[in-house]
Amino acid sequence: METDRIASTLHPLERKVLPILKSTSSFESIVEKTGLQKVEVMRALQWLQNKKIIRVNQKLQEEVSMDENGLKYKEKGLPEKNFLESVKDRATLDKIEKTTNLSKQELSISLGILKSKAAIEIKKEKEIIVSITDNGKKLLKKGFPEEEFLKKKFPMNTSELKDLDKFAFENLKKRNRIVKVDIIKIINAELTDIGKKIIQHKIKEHEIIDRITPSVLKSGSWKKKEVRKYDVKINVPDISGGRRHFVNQAIEYIKKIWLDMGFKEMTGSLVQTSFWDLDALFVPQDHPSRDMQDTFYVKDPAYGKLPKELMKRVKAAHENGWTTGSKGWQYKWSAEEAKKLLMITHDTYLSAKTLASIKKEDLPIKSFQIMKVFRNETLSWKSLFEFCQIGGIVVDPNANFKHLKGYLKGFFAKMGFPDVRIRPAHFPYTEPSCECDVWHPKKKQWVEVGGAGIFRPEVVKPLLGEEVPVLAWGLGMERTIMEYYNITDVRDVYKNDLKQLREIKMWMK
Amino acid sequence: MPTININRKVFERYVGKKLSTEKLKDRISYLGTDLEDVNDEEIVVEIFPDRPDMLSVQGFARAFSSFIGLKTGLRHYKVEHSNEKMIVDKSVANVRPYTACAIVKDMRFDDEKIKEVIDIQEKLHITYGRHRKKIAIGIYPFEKIKTPITFLAQNPKDIIFQPLEFPKKINALQILKQHPAGKEYGHLLEGKEMFPVFRDANGEVLSVPPIINSHRTGKISEKTRDVFIECSGFDLRVLEKCLNIIVCALYEMGGKIYSMDLSYGNKKQVTPDLKPEEMKVDIDYVNKWLGLNLNESEIKKLFERMGYGYRNKKALIPAYRADIIHQVDLAEDIAIAYGYENFEAVIPQVATIAEENKFEIFKSKIAHLLVGLNFLETSTYNLANKEVQCKKMNAEIALISLANSISSDYNVLRAWVIPSLIEILSNNKHHEYPQKIFTIGTIFKQNNKFETNIEENERLAVAVASEKTDYTEIKQVLDYLFRSLDLKYEIKEAEHSSFIEGRVARVNAKGKNVAYIGEINPQVIENWELETPVTAFELNLTELFEVI
């Protein structure tokens, strides 16, 4: 039977609480009668409610209790009463002060209250003279309702106050620390129909095993007794484990894509000379991208060293095209400018370094890198000063522009974006250059993901010594990650909020 | 990168056709310009720095109408000879050695056109002219000038005139201090004893390039019919291109181009020269580069779509194009004309062997070990500040500064990683404890053995913040790592002001000091306003990897 099943899942705490509910419903009395701690009762009630055995009603209630002045006045009487008593028929304020020992503040409050009750009259001659009225005399005889109120048993539910008590309470509430009002939660538990049925059953307490312990196993007592059934739908507290940062989870996956496509991973430093970051990539020395505003330059040391032989070729490529058939930029190239140290502005510099390190016999070569790159920008919801870039090159005598589109499409398909388009763009080191977009199936629009192109001969020949097509790309990563994790403020990617890191979903690709 | 805002109606008039917004959006993107916005009135496009010729509505519409197949092929710009002279005095050789100039007649200026001309000039100044450093452009009402004009260098105190939009005559030095343009561009003449100046036959000042024109002779108005244009700078080839870009735009506005005779001493020259430059085209090369199989007549058609001419295996490059220095530049224009969207995506069958970087594998394994110990990985910035790296850490460590960071929050390269973790702990005080975190990051220190004179190391930093954390707990983590790596290490007592005295040690593996480990100094904990004890270690993975 259903009730049997439910009864057999009851936890020891529930078993203690449930019988009590026959006779009582208030939380306090349950605590009192079971001898359990408040949290234990709370938990038991919660569980019982989950099982629909009881209904727990909570309501908020205003409760009045005595404050520090209230306690004092309960003992010594209210100041206005003491005041009035000390007037006798008439007295000066000085005298009243002496006999009653009231503070200045209490005196003035008493004056105010008694006047409003028309219990006294005040005359100001040389001194202030107070005389009692007929009303005042009656009041003394009858007693002050406020004082009566203070004699009651506290705390009290304000909604139960009536007539005079209510009047007295309203008066006292306005005064300094006589009574205080708290909002409290009143918890009541009542049996539901199911509960009433269950309670008819004899709730077995001793024949049931709550936990399988080593001693239960050793004694074999489980063979004779029933094991309490659990509510398997119960909510359990959260736990969290160690895990990699979600950006690094994505990086692990992205690496795997390139590795699967036969690429070799490259690594490099984060500080470089302008030579590798810009000059080797044929970026003219007066190019706007060298402006101080975009690039972080290093102060001390401010300069690095240049590779001598290579430098000559790069210089020639800039000045007159060297042997590439190009006219070059036709200006005087400065080694000093090329020595300047900067925080890498793109990871394409590493592609240049890779080109300088390989031999023609090693071709074809496919390499990639995932690195932090830097932009001298203010941190904001849409811009970081330090972010990841995914770069790569294919050095292949037979490579062409269609292959570039192919590699990009291959990569993005594995990232979950099967549709890729390229648009014309401009970079000083590639020709043709393109901007790469992927079709966002949810947003139903094209999203920009990075730049690509074929390295110019002026880049390749000085580095490699040969003119070979080199397909190259530098792609952003944070945007894809933000998309995946529903992050809208790019700063949140590197905020290192431990709650976020503990709770964020895994990179599931 | 520069954007231009152009009136859609004016644009359509120059293009010679109205297009739907959808079509415009599509075609503009594939022309090699970045469309920012298009609505009924206005088109906003970003022009890439290699195409200064598209910085005007005329230039942009010209490229666009060719691209959509409306007005294809090389355009002819008629240039008549004016017999007007420009004398370039040898005194400019050391300040601003070259100029290229022209006269454009029969301009019918109105407010709109004046604005367009000033716009072209400004856009070219900023981009191709590198904020007037490389090129300064002057455009003058020709009727106020008496030729021949002389370009010479003079003592700035002797150059006295009323600069544009300024109430009175002042000398060139005063201009640098008082005139807005002088303040903005004065640095370009800094330290020069002589300033370049254009004067007409009456000795009247036309301008002091690259700063400012004269108010009297250097301001075009609705009454102006003919204009004199000069570009001055350091590279004659660049100046000529710039001049070509301007006169071609003015020609399309309805002007007639007249050339001028320049004399550099005995050397004579005529500008502008709008004859197309020729470049040999190797069709095989272009096909191979792009992966296409185009024949000559197709190539010719594609060239014409980009405003080129084509004759006898040679491309005729329009005189306003400043970016064609190698055959690959032609290949790109062929690709654009062909349509990037029409290229197939092909993954070639090229066998290469994948290879993951060994050190990256090592780092990843270390990270996974820590994850197994319930540590959360954080991802931290390489840039930091002195407060975080030293002051709050109660430590003095040599830091490498950045020269020009726009933020004081990140103006140094970090020299150690533990501060990054402590900062994280400090920001996460409201979250559940214990907090066990790690990060692998780069540190930077001066070392002239390296190409960059900076040594970069990868470090693992691990920190635990909890009520009960102590030296034992953090050392257990280190022990576990070394055990997993099958590596022995020695612990030596050490001093480090970020840690508690007597509870900090150096870790030595195979003769190398690879780590610091200990309990963080309460002073540091207080500095970071933390309320729990913290233990940490920092391990040099680069060195450790070398000894494994």
Query: What pLDDT is recorded for position B487?
Result: 94
My answer on whether B306 and B391 are in the same domain is: no
DSSP B48: P
Domain containing residue B197: CATH number = 3.50.40.10
- pLDDT of A175 reads 84
Do B362 and B491 have their domain in common? Answer: yes
Interface of A with B in 53-72 (CB under 8 A): none
The domain boundary, picked from B18, B33, B67, lies at B67
- Each of the 548 residues of chain B gets a pLDDT tens digit; together they read 789 999 999 999 999 999 999 999 999 999 988 888 999 999 999 999 899 999 999 999 999 999 999 999 999 999 999 999 999 999 999 899 999 999 999 998 999 899 999 999 999 999 999 999 999 999 999 999 999 999 999 999 999 999 999 999 999 999 999 999 999 999 999 889 999 999 999 999 999 999 999 999 988 999 999 999 999 999 999 999 999 999 999 999 999 999 999 999 899 999 999 999 999 999 999 999 999 999 999 999 999 999 999 999 999 999 999 999 999 999 999 999 999 999 999 999 888 999 999 999 999 999 999 999 999 999 999 999 999 999 999 999 999 999 999 999 999 999 999 999 999 999 999 999 999 999 999 999 999 999 999 999 999 999 999 999 999 999 999 999 999 999 999 999 999 999 999 999 999 999 999 999 999 999 999 999 999 999 999 999 999 999 88
Q: Are residues B289 and B263 in the same domain?
A: no
Q: Which of residues 193-252 of B touch A (CB under 8 A)?
A: 235, 237
Closest CA to B45 of B55, B35, B54: B35
Domain with CATH 3.30.930.10 in chain A: 247-503
pLDDT at A203: 63
Q: Name the domain boundary from B340, B368, B390.
A: B340
Comparing alpha-carbon positions, the chain B residue that sits nearest to A242 is B374
Strand order through the sheet with A179-191: A156-157, A54-66, A179-191
- Using the 3D structure, point to which of B15, B36, B67 is the last residue of a domain: B67
Domain match, B450 and B394 both = yes
What is the greatest pairwise CA distance in chain A?
Answer: 123
- Statement to judge: residues B47 and B108 lie in one domain: no
Candidates B352, B373, B530, partner chain A, best to mutate (most A CBs within 10 A): B352
Question: For A377, which residue in chain B has the nearest alpha carbon?
Answer: B406
> Cβ of A321 and B325 within 8 Å?
yes
Q: Does the CB of B355 have a partner CB in chain A at under 8 Å?
A: yes
H runs (alpha helix) in A35-191: 38-50, 68-76, 79-87, 93-100, 104-116, 134-142, 145-150, 163-173
On whether both B124 and B50 belong to a single domain, the answer is no
Helices H, strands E: what count in chain A?
Answer: 22, 17
Residue A126 exposed, middle or buried by CB count within 10 Å (0-12, 13-18, 19+): exposed
**Chain B residues with CB inside 8 Å of A400's CB?**
288-291
pLDDT of residue A211: 87
Are B517 and B537 in contact, with CB atoms under 8 Å apart?
A: yes
Residues B245 and B100 in one domain: yes
Answer yes or no: do B406 and A379 touch at CB < 8 A.
Answer: no
Which class is A247-503 in CATH? alpha beta
Q: Which amino acid is at A336?
A: E
> Nearest CA of chain B to the CA of A331: how many Å?
8
Q: Does A248 touch chain B (CB under 8 A)?
A: yes
CA distance B360 to A493: 22
A residues 182..241 contacting B (CB < 8 A):
241
**CB contact A454 to B (< 8 Å):** yes
B residues 297..316 contacting A (CB < 8 A) = none
Strands A264-265 and A365-374 turn out to be parallel
Residue B350: inside a domain, yes or no? Answer: no
In sequence order, which residues have a C-beta less than 8 Å from that of residue B296 and are 6 or more positions away?
A: B283, B313
- Please tell me whether residues B291 and B264 are part of one structural domain: no
pLDDT at position A228 over 70? yes
Residue B517 lies in a domain: yes
Please say if the pLDDT value at position A205 is more than 60. Answer: no
Q: B106 and B186 share a domain?
A: yes
Residue of B nearest to A297 (CA): B403
| Mean pLDDT score of chain A | 89
Å from A376 to nearest chain B CA?
A: 6
Query: For chain B, what is the domain count?
Result: 4
List of chain B residues whose C-beta atoms are within 8 Å of the C-beta of residue A456? 326, 328
Does residue B107 lie within any of the structural domains?
A: yes
CATH value at residue B62: 3.30.56.10
Q: Is position B352 within any domain?
A: no
Contact B325, A327 (CB under 8 A): yes
Position B13 in a domain:
yes
Question: Range(s) for CATH 1.10.10.10 in chain A?
Answer: 2-61+184-227, 66-176
Amino acid B423: pLDDT: 98
What integer is the mean pLDDT of A138-162? 81
Which of B133, B346, B400 is closest, CB to CB, to A402? B346
CA distance B449 to chain A (A): 10
Q: Residues A317-326: pLDDT tens digits?
A: 999 999 999 9
Class of domain A66-176: mainly alpha
Separation in Å, CA of B52 to nearest CA in chain A: 12
How far apart are alpha carbons A448 and A417 in whole angstroms?
12
**What is the domain range of residue B53?**
3-67
**In the CATH hierarchy, which fold is given to the domain comprising A2-61+184-227?**
Arc Repressor Mutant, subunit A (1.10.10)
B35 & B112 share domain: no
Least confident of A282-286, A479-483, B18-22, B345-349: A479-483
Residues 147-186 of B with CB under 8 A from A: none
Assign 3-class secondary structure to A63-82: EEEECHHHHHHHHHCCHHHH
User: Can you tell me the mean pLDDT for A192-204?
Assistant: 78
**Among the listed residues B405, B412, B409, the one whose alpha carbon sits nearest the alpha carbon of residue B444:** B412
pLDDT single digits (tens) A2-56: 777 787 788 888 888 888 888 888 888 888 888 889 888 998 898 888 888 899 8
pTM of the model: 0.81
Percentage of chain A exceeding pLDDT 70: 98
What is the distance in angstroms between the Cα of B445 and the nearest Cα belonging to chain A? Answer: 10
Nearest to A431 among B33, B331, B403 (CB): B331
Task: Give the pLDDT score at B546.
Answer: 92
Residues B41-53 have pLDDT tens digits of 999 999 998 999 9
- B404 and B507 share a domain? yes
Do B61 and B14 contact (CB within 8 A), yes or no? yes
Q: Which of A369, A331, A373 is nearest to A353 (CA)?
A: A369
How far is residue B349's CA from residue B347's CA, in Å, rounded to a whole number? 7
pLDDT at position A206, please? 60
